[in-house]
Amino acid sequence: MKILCRGKSLSLICGALSWLRDFEQKKQEEEKRLLEAGADPLNDGKDQAPCPPPSCQQSPGSPRGTGEPDWVTQFVQKKEERDLVDRLKEGQVRRKKREERLRQIRHNASLKFAAKRMRQEDEETERLLRLSREMLAAGTGPEQLAWGEDELVLAEYESDEEKVSASGVDVDEEDLEEEHVTKIYYCSRTHSQLAQFVHEVQKSPFGKDTRLVSLGSRQNLCVNEDVRKLGSVQLINDRCVELQRSKHEKKSVVEEEKPGRRRRLEPRATCPFYSHEQLQLLRDEVLLEVKDIEQLAALGKEARACPYYGSRLAIPAAQLVVLPYQILLHAAARQAAGIRLQGQVVVIDEAHNLIDTITSIHSVEVSGSQLCQAHSQLLQYTERYGKRLKAKNLMYIKQILYVLEKFVTVLGGNVKQSPNTQSLSQAGTELKTVSDFLFQSQIDNINLFKVKRYCEKSMVSRKLFGFTERYGAVLAPSREQPKLSGFQHFLQSLQPGVTAAPAAPAEEGEDKAPRPASPLMHIEGFLAALTTANQDGRVILSRQGSLSQSSLKFLLLNPAVHFAQVVKECRAVVLAGGTMQPVSDFREQLLACAGVEAERVVEFSCGHVIPADNILPLVICSGPSNQQLEFTYQKRELPQMMDETGRILCNLCNVVPGGVVCFFPSYAYQRQVHTHWDKSGLLARLAVRKKIFQEPQRVNQVEQVLLEYSRCIQHCGQAGGMVTGALMFSVVGGKMSEGINFSDNLGRCVVMVGMPFPSIRSAELQEKMAYLDQTLPRAPGQVPPGKVLVENLCMKAVNQSIGRAIRHQKDFASIVLLDQRYARPPILAKLPAWIRDRVQVKATFGPAFAALRKFHREKSGSS
């Protein structure tokens, strides 16, 4: 089911939770009816087989239609009914226990006090242990033990409670394997969008009675400062898993020091926030009232319990689970979080880039520099610790070294030389199927499934990182940013304030920059991708002059493979978005390829809340000097095209009050046009009426630019004068084309310069087009699916950009599309319905300008 509407969050909340409330009520009524029927005195002889009826006694072998005697069928039916009643009774007992537990925590202050006292005792114990370790480290403790004295030393004390929690013995089974109630999984793209949704739930009529859980990554929710300071998502994840493993194993490491002597080392470190009792209390606190990620993290700090694991313990009993949809769409992340989709409802908000997201999180790229670094680090690690490693460890490490060497060789490099100084004789891009790539790399005889499993279980990349941390980098990395997989990049982007901006200068941001993860961590993701189905992916060999700049990339071609399991298990899936047009991609590439029958797909679209006369969409085919507007790659850089665009903007700025937002297809083209206008004097003419701002390429500068833009418009509206507002130069797909609201005077006119088609020369796009042409059905005379893909990518970007204006019922704005290709019916059909139904195509500039002037005079006068 698809919902296309604006201001949709409240509608989704109320509609979904109303359904859930009604569903739970009907389910309880049905359970009550079945329990009453099961308690009927006539059915009390449940441990005795029913006597066969007289007819069966006379002819015991007489079969019914199923081939079984009638009395056997009745017995089986009765047994199934009794089993159902027993399960319902068990579920009812569990539900009452949970409700009673939450009620006590909500109303019984003594329980909260007891939990707080337990936390204080744990903190005091941890403090004393830390002081003891510091004394030993400082040499204030006893001298090194003589031979044989070590058996006189007390082993580390472990309380009975810790033994119970670590081993799992005597832990209530309900806590370990609680039944998952019917729930709604609400997913969105970013941390801020999820927080906004949670706040909407808090304000809604369901805010008091809904058991809501917010999920996030370890980077968002970890409260252990020693782990958080690692910075890298992968390092935080690995360190957390290592601490949990240590918690359960509780082994003392014994190291051979000299022949005949052994030294007992300190037991492995464990996480002080991973306590079974505290996690159970945190779980119940999470379910008491609606909390967003920040509130959950703050609660975890106060409770001295890990909110990452505490929130996951709360999933079974939760009615509404809020999470980034990348976690839900990645099978490994879904499993790690304890998410079960069977019979549940999934709502995916902001789903316009769902296909791109699935493709991104399952596509991985590694650079030649990373391959060489990993090989060099692993080789030196083996040289240092080789004699201490078991034969199987050595075997797998040699296989990994062999694979890394072959990956570098297939790019045209040599692992024995620095990647920064190696120039490749052959440049260009090459695409291979997975099997062809493995064969060309000469690793088709290596079992990558076993290598992948070894990397996961042995945590070799974590050990390698610790080795390089201790002994320093063995190969100086290049200045390029490490290339993360899509999933890792997503997890990193979830943390508030962490963005994909270029690195700060060393003197400003060197100390604050997170430590890069081991390059082998990224390569493990690439190895995992190579084990997927051969037909659904390609390997791109990109050779770019030097080895350090070259890369290997796994590209997923069929995102439906990973979406199929979600659709198969769920009761219903809702894809929602404010600008979902065009929707053919979802139907053909995602749903149909995932095996969803056409009749199961319901499409629902809402119109905009604004009156019809509050928007003026215009397609302008030519400029003031009758220059035809067609911004193709061949024509858009012509001086006359850039001059005509500048004249159009000058005219618009004369009649449009407040803010004008102008979108260009790319940063490079925006800079080229800006430079040309600066030389020709058009920029100075524009500045007479509007103060000019440019979208920054650094993410951390966006907020400041927007603030200055807003202040300028506000000041001009109050002061009057020649300057009537501001003009913002933005880029399609940039920082301001999505998630930024240019409401009211901030965006009285949105201008789209040309059509932002993706580069047809991209090897990835060409392969995707060829794949769709081969796999999707096409009727005679129909446009090839590959060409449709290119048009849809363009129009989705356009729709996202022009949707930045008109954000509420009383808002108004004009939308100007500068390119005669927008007038083509197939292109017009891909605009949102609320724009398409009101669009006016103007062949010449004069009538278009007259319509704009009239519209803004009327609206400015009425407002």
Phi-psi region of 472 (alpha: psi -120 to 50; beta: other; left: phi over 0): left
Least Cα distance to 618 among 822, 444, 757 occurs for: 822
pLDDT for 648 beyond 70: yes
3-state secondary structure of 849: helix
Candidate from 43-52, 130-139, 329-338, 758-767 with smallest mean pLDDT = 43-52
675 Cβ neighbours under 8 A, 6+ residues apart: none
Domain ranges of the chain: 1-32+179-241+271-350+559-606, 364-473+518-557, 615-862
Candidate from 518-522, 540-544, 623-627 with smallest mean pLDDT = 518-522
pLDDT at 632: 93
Cα 852–858–863 angle (5° rounding)?
Answer: 120
Higher local confidence (pLDDT), 674 or 591? 674
Tens digits of per-residue pLDDT, 68-118? 677 667 767 777 766 766 776 676 667 666 666 666 655 565 555 555 556
pLDDT at 53: 41
pLDDT at 726: 94
Cα(641)–Cα(645) distance, integer angstroms: 6
Encoded tokens for 440:
């060309």
Higher local confidence (pLDDT), 549 or 152? 549
Mean pLDDT value across residues 661-684:
94
Tens digits of per-residue pLDDT, 48-60? 444 444 434 444 4
Encoded tokens for 308:
């990452």
CATH number for the domain running over 615-862 = 3.40.50.300
pLDDT for 200 beyond 50: yes
Residue 497 burial by CB count (10 A; 0-12/13-18/19+): exposed, middle or buried?
exposed
**Backbone angles phi and psi of 450, in degrees to 5:** -70, -40
Neighbours of 441 (CB within 10 A): 22
pLDDT at 628: 94
pLDDT for 696 beyond 60: yes
3-state secondary structure of 152: helix
Mean pLDDT value across residues 60-68:
49
Candidate from 59-63, 626-630, 828-832 with smallest mean pLDDT = 59-63
pLDDT for 126 beyond 80: no
Query: 442: pLDDT confidence band, cut at 50, 70 and 90?
Result: very high
Second-level CATH architecture of 364-473+518-557:
Orthogonal Bundle (1.10)
Cα(198)–Cα(183) distance, integer angstroms: 16
Residue with tokens 């369901």: 206
pLDDT at 516: 55
Helix (H) or strand (E) holding 771: helix 763-775
Tens digits of per-residue pLDDT, 741-762? 888 899 999 999 999 999 888 8
Tens digits of per-residue pLDDT, 715-724? 987 877 889 9
pLDDT at 467: 78
pTM of the full predicted structure? Answer: 0.76
Cα(253)–Cα(272) distance, integer angstroms: 20
**Mean pLDDT computed over every residue of the chain:** 78
Phi-psi region of 148 (alpha: psi -120 to 50; beta: other; left: phi over 0): left
pLDDT at 833: 86
pLDDT for 148 beyond 50: no
CATH number for the domain running over 1-32+179-241+271-350+559-606 = 3.40.50.300
Cα(659)–Cα(691) distance, integer angstroms: 9
Tens digits of per-residue pLDDT, 481-497? 444 444 444 344 434 33
Helical residues (DSSP H) of 39-108, grouped into ranges: 54-58, 70-107
pLDDT at 123: 61
Judge whether 1-32+179-241+271-350+559-606 and 364-473+518-557 match in fold: no
Query: 808: pLDDT confidence band, cut at 50, 70 and 90?
Result: confident
pLDDT for 168 beyond 50: no
Residue with tokens 């078991």: 390
Cα(179)–Cα(27) distance, integer angstroms: 15
pLDDT at 229: 86
Cα(13)–Cα(337) distance, integer angstroms: 23
Tens digits of per-residue pLDDT, 277-304? 888 888 888 888 898 888 999 999 888 8
Tens digits of per-residue pLDDT, 568-627? 999 999 998 877 888 888 888 888 888 888 888 888 877 777 888 899 999 999 999 999
Beta strands 546-556 and 364-367: pairing type? antiparallel
Cα(596)–Cα(600) distance, integer angstroms: 7
Strand ranges inside 535-614, DSSP E = 537-544, 546-556, 572-577, 603-605
Least Cα distance to 361 among 588, 196, 577, 561 occurs for: 561
Number of alpha carbons in the 13 Å side-chain half-sphere of residue 697: 8
pLDDT for 161 beyond 70: no
